[in-house]
Amino acid sequence: MNTLKVGDKAPNFEAFDEQGNTIKLTDYTGKKLVVFFYPKANTPTCTVEACNLRDEYAELKEKGYEILGVSADSQRKQSNFKKKFNFPYPLLADVNKEVIDAFGVWGEKKFMGRVFDGIHRVTFVIDENGVISKVIDKVKAKEHASQILEKD
């Protein structure tokens, strides 16, 4: 796994959101962007993480952050996930793993004694110039918004 690091230029991605809209990095030029990668929609930890960002969305917006969630789920699954939990931000349906690969969050994982390839739960904060200013690779699902807002 070759994950992007602080100081790297964010990859100029393009993907469909849960409604079929094309979302590009350039849509966020001049804004602070949080891109959080999660393994699978509607699973317990992913739901807790995404709901924490929903619950703290007003504060994140107030501090100038835009948010994008990304997983390899289909548009239909992302749409159902968003509707079920009323998320105020887009969820990218990166079925072909182009964005996932560009950020380097696909790789070997271990769970319950099993080894497999999958999406690592990693969040990137991208500054107004498209440079990665923070990487959170030890995401605490219940406190994720505070991790984004805390200063290093």
Active site residues: 46
Residue type, 84: K
> In the numeric block, which tokens belong to residue 75?
């548009």
Any idea how long the chain is?
152
| Alpha-carbon span 96 to 36, nearest angstrom | 17
> In the numeric block, which tokens belong to residue 136?
């959170």
- Find all residues with CB under 8 Å of 71, minimum gap 6, and list them: 37, 38, 39, 40, 41, 46, 78, 91, 92, 93, 94, 119
